[in-house]
Amino acid sequence: MVGAVDKHLALIGFMGAGKSTLGRELAQLTDRPFVDTDDEIEKRFGPIGELFERGEPEFRRIEEQIVAEALAGPTAIIALGGGAVLSEVTQARLDRTAFIAWVPVDVDTAWSRVSDSGRPLAQDRERFGQLYDQRCEVYDVLAQGGGADVEALLLSAHGIVFSGRVPYDAALIADERVASLHELRLLTPAVSTHLVPSGEEAKTLAVVERLWSELEIGRDGWLVGFGGGSTTDLAGFVAATHLRGVRWVAVPTTLVGMVDAAIGGKTGINTVEGKNLAGAFHFPQQVFVDPSFLSTLPPEERRAGMAEVVKTGLLAGKELWALQEEEMIRACAAFKTAVVLSDPYEREGRRAILNLGHTFAHALEAASGYELRHGDAVALGLLAALRLSGRSTDVVEEVLAPAPVRVDRGRAWNALLRDKKGRLKLILLGDEGGYVTDVPERDVKRALDQLIAD
Ligand SMILES: NC(=O)c1ccc[n+]([C@@H]2O[C@H](COP(=O)([O-])OP(=O)(O)OC[C@H]3O[C@@H](n4cnc5c(N)ncnc54)[C@H](O)[C@@H]3O)[C@@H](O)[C@H]2O)c1
Ligand SMILES: [Zn+2]
């Protein structure tokens, strides 16, 4: 599987790198258990200093056992002691069960953080420096990714790379409009290029069938989806189904794609019954994000993306919409990654919080006969969700300025009920972020009505 989706996220690195602090924060964001192997050893066997006095081999044996137990447990965030990965048995176990991320630190910073800690291996500066060099060689070989902060670690653990170049041969599925605006040659050494209709028009079974028959890649081949969420949803679905599944990467070219659609493995197409009704979870191996593709994005598409940014910021409890563009995209992508890692297949329901405002949005979109842009519908949906949560709507008004839409009220209400299949469970916003709750029907109806112009 891809990144840390079905695996532990194991933090490796030298003492003093901050693995424990970062691990704790990651555990909270991803709603996964946190295991700090040094803490676990101390809890069960007493102070590490004392264990070391009995000889390092004895300590390493205990450490190996504690790491093995953590790796055999539920999918977690695991901070490993600096020397734990020297064991070959541990290395092999990690390789099977974890995404291994290196938390880097420079030797002086590490020394300044741990020299007073009484750690057995941090007594002598020169010896410390030698150990640092030796261990960094091991970390370098083992690491599949890494980062010095939570955001970088999340992005790395989900294969999100800030670059506009895919470094391997692949069959390229590209939105025809985007292909006319950007140089495909620079994107990937494509083995074949398949243009698909611009935007939502591509998400049909007819396009999928055409691609199934055109593609000449084998089971070991790769697909690249290049375009907005429509193209990456389609390309991912073709990748999930072609020859029972091939690997793929996403290169989003819209703001919606970069902060939302290209991340998280949901792929699919539309059927005559409705949007996204046929699909599969099929995670891209990597997502290549290059904000410079946004230079050609029409303003209304950017606005649609900002609605998802505001949604993400509200859920994260941070003013992400106020950040400079690349920072904003990074932060949103990292937040979505954390939620996805907590519940990759939307089984426990936590992933559903990403649908804040979307019940209303979907109802308005359907009532407009899909004339209303999703992002504009989300902006309105956020107003309703915030009102029902008893929270201020100022941010949505200021950043997105949504105007009520002219759609049939009855049609919108029926669409909402159909979407909810009779149970009015909504995502609302609390001090701790999004949560799912039952809301009385009349309140939901009133909130929906407020979004509709007479
Ligand atoms: N899989 C998921 O988790 C997920 C999440 C959110 C949305 N989606 C899906 O994403 C789709 C919407 O995606 P979207 O909002 O990215 O739009 P889109 O892919 O439908 O593209 C919108 C328009 O922008 C054009 N375009 C794209 N990139 C451009 C660029 N760089 N310059 C100029 N024009 C460009 C397209 O040709 C199209 O006309 C919906 O189908 C939705 O269901 C999926
Ligand atoms: Zn959305």
pLDDT digits (tens), the chain, 454 positions? 589 999 999 999 999 999 999 999 999 999 999 999 999 999 999 999 899 888 999 999 999 999 999 999 999 999 999 999 999 999 999 999 999 999 999 999 999 999 988 888 888 999 999 999 999 999 999 999 999 999 999 999 999 999 989 998 999 999 999 999 999 888 888 889 999 999 999 999 999 999 999 999 999 999 999 999 999 999 999 999 999 999 999 999 999 999 999 999 999 999 988 888 899 999 999 999 999 999 999 999 999 999 999 999 999 999 999 999 999 999 999 999 999 999 999 988 889 999 999 999 999 999 999 899 999 999 999 999 999 999 999 999 999 999 999 999 999 999 999 877 667 899 999 999 999 999 999 999 999 999 999 8
Extended beta strands in 176-230, E state: 192-196, 222-227
- Atom of ligand 1 at shortest range from CA of 270: 41
Q: How far is the CA of 35 from the centre of ligand 1 (A)?
A: 39
Residue 53: other Cβ atoms inside 10 A: 12
Q: Which two tokens stand for residue 144?
A: 């599949």
The residue whose CA has the least distance to atom 37 of ligand 1 is: 198
Ligand nearest to the CA of 307: 2
Q: Among residues 96, 94, 129, which one has the least CA distance to residue 110?
A: 129
Question: Which of 158, 303, 362, 387 does the annotation list as catalytic?
Answer: 362
The 10 Å CB-count burial string (b at 16+, else e) for 108-139 is eebbeebeeeebebbeeeeebeebbeebbeeb
Integer CA distances (angstroms), 203 to 242, 303, 306, in order: 15, 22, 23
Pocket test for ligand 1, best of 237, 256, 289 (most atoms within 8 A of CB): 256
Give the SS3 label for residue 212. helix
The residue whose CA has the least distance to atom 30 of ligand 1 is: 297
Helix pair 374-388, 358-367: axis angle to 10 deg: 130
Q: Which residues contact 185 (CB under 8 A, 6 or more apart)?
A: none
CA angle 293, 297, 302 (to 5 degrees): 110
Residues having CB closer than 6 A to ligand 1 are 175, 177-178, 181, 198-200, 203, 227-231, 233, 253-254, 256-257, 260-261, 264, 266, 275-276, 293-294, 296-297, 301, 304
Integer CA distances (angstroms), 194 to 3, 215, 225, in order: 27, 9, 10
Q: Which two tokens stand for residue 124?
A: 């002598």
Q: Which two tokens stand for residue 228?
A: 């907005």
Whether 447 and 412 have beta carbons less than 8 Å apart is answered as no
Q: Which two tokens stand for residue 314?
A: 């509200």
Give the SS3 label for residue 116. coil
Whether 49 and 120 have beta carbons less than 8 Å apart is answered as yes
CA 335 to CA 160: how far, in whole Å? Answer: 12
The 10 Å CB-count burial string (b at 16+, else e) for 203-215 is bbeebbeebeeeb
